[in-house]
Structure 1
Amino acid sequence: MNIIVCRLPDWKLEMNVVLDGSKITSSDDFYRQLAAGLDLHSYGRNLDALWDLLSASVERPLSISWVDSERSRDVLREEFQAIVAVLDRVVEFDRAARWPDKFHYTLL
């Protein structure tokens, strides 16, 4: 009997979720696009649930690219700022935890 031992690579593929800001006209649109990008069937669509999801429930490395974010900023106003504040908190959380695989986002 032969036993073959394989070592898995030390790298992981980064998941990149792309949000289309031209199609985000409400915070619910944001949560819907994020859920679709992460292949989630349901999660609470609010800021607390966003924090819970991104800080503890999704695998790293994870990147969110928010295309046409200026348009979303204009439409969502305070809601946009609140969402971005949660994204910033998750970035800081990962940095403080010193995890090798981190969350990050880009507003495009």
Structure 2
Amino acid sequence: MAHEIYARIRKNPKFHQLVKTRTRFAVVLSIIVCAIFYGFVLLVAFDPELIGKRLGSSYITIGIAAGLFQFIFFWLLIWWYVYRANGEFDRLNEEIISEAEQGK
């Protein structure tokens, strides 16, 4: 019985849409994270003077501010992924399972 349900799920166009949408979203987020993270690392490697500059008269440097920005930005990306996963992706997943159980 379970094998038939899995076969119906794989044949469902909504399943292919879910896989395509979720994969595209994950790839885009991965590219963004890698670009920001490795951009920071490359900036540290090739322009350490810039990273060491202070912001105004404070003790906070550009490097510290950029590092904090990364944490905040990555948390926002995580929130965005969870928001879509718990909304759009879960809704599509429930529809696919429901249709497979009904034999559609």
User: Normalization by structure 1: what TM-score?
Assistant: 0.30
Higher relative contact order (CA 8 A, sep 6+): 2
Which protein has the bigger strand share? 1
Which protein has the bigger helix share? 2
User: Normalization by structure 2: what TM-score?
Assistant: 0.30
Kindly name which structure, 1 or 2, has the bigger radius of gyration based on alpha carbons. 2
